[in-house]
A = this chain, B = another copy of it.
């Protein structure tokens, strides 16, 4: 069950959601593959890791497959999310509607800036990071989005683990150390840009 297979499932789900709204009933592995930039066999392999959802000779029924994928990905429930770091990136994420649509609801926002503490974003009062425990007693979250400066990230992550967070999406340019049983996904734009740079280094100018 590779990480990349899971990521592709998420892409398949997105494609199916876009399709459903267009009224398509059936989709072939080939077509789905085209939409997410992979191949038919890859799609079938990925899906077959979790069962047989298709009909031979026909393809996959869009709606049921969508339901199955949501289920597999753990998206048929609500996830409570804590946002740590109410800077510009945090602001962008809070305003981003598709997280909530997909079941991720921000219930707690924490920051250290005294100017921000007490103000409300989307109806949620921003609390101080030092009072994380208190904030979590009121509004516990299973997942956290970490959007603080690099220097503050590891401490914040430690605190999050202490209050029971089981998954962290980290936007700070630091590799977090977390104990077993806590999942971390790194979104590292510097790394992405630098790998672009590598790809272009001999092609350009």
Binding site for B on A (CB under 8 A): 3, 6-7, 9-11, 13-14, 35-37, 72-75, 77, 79, 87-89, 91-93, 95-96, 98-99, 102-104, 142-143, 166-169, 173, 175, 177, 181, 183, 185, 187, 189-205
| Smallest Cβ-Cβ distance to A91: which chain B residue | B88
Residues in chain B near residue A200, CB distance under 8 A: 74, 79, 142-143, 166-167, 183
Residues in chain B near residue A9, CB distance under 8 A: 194, 198
Residues in chain B near residue A196, CB distance under 8 A: 143, 167-169, 183, 185
Number of copies of this protein chain within its complex: 2
Residues in chain B near residue A98, CB distance under 8 A: 173, 190
Q: Tell me, rounded to whole Å, the shortest Cβ–Cβ distance linking A117 to chain B.
A: 20
Residues in chain B near residue A183, CB distance under 8 A: 196, 199-200
Q: Once the chains are docked, how many angstroms separate the CA of A167 from the CA of B202?
A: 12
Which of B36, B72, B77, B191 contacts A10, CB < 8 Å? B191
Residues in chain B near residue A95, CB distance under 8 A: 88
Q: Once the chains are docked, how many angstroms separate the CA of A142 from the CA of B199?
A: 12
Please state if A7 and B195 are interface contacts (CB–CB under 8 Å).
Answer: yes
Please state if A102 and B11 are interface contacts (CB–CB under 8 Å).
Answer: no
Q: Tell me, rounded to whole Å, the shortest Cβ–Cβ distance linking A197 to chain B.
A: 4
Please state if A6 and B92 are interface contacts (CB–CB under 8 Å).
Answer: no
Q: Once the chains are docked, how many angstroms separate the CA of A177 from the CA of B203?
A: 20
Residues in chain B near residue A87, CB distance under 8 A: 92
Which of B89, B190, B199 contacts A167, CB < 8 Å? B199
Give 19 new A-B contacts, CB below 8 A, not counting A9-B198, A91-B92.
A3-B195, A11-B175, A14-B173, A35-B175, A36-B175, A37-B175, A73-B194, A73-B197, A89-B89, A98-B190, A99-B190, A103-B197, A104-B197, A142-B204, A143-B196, A168-B196, A183-B200, A185-B195, A187-B192
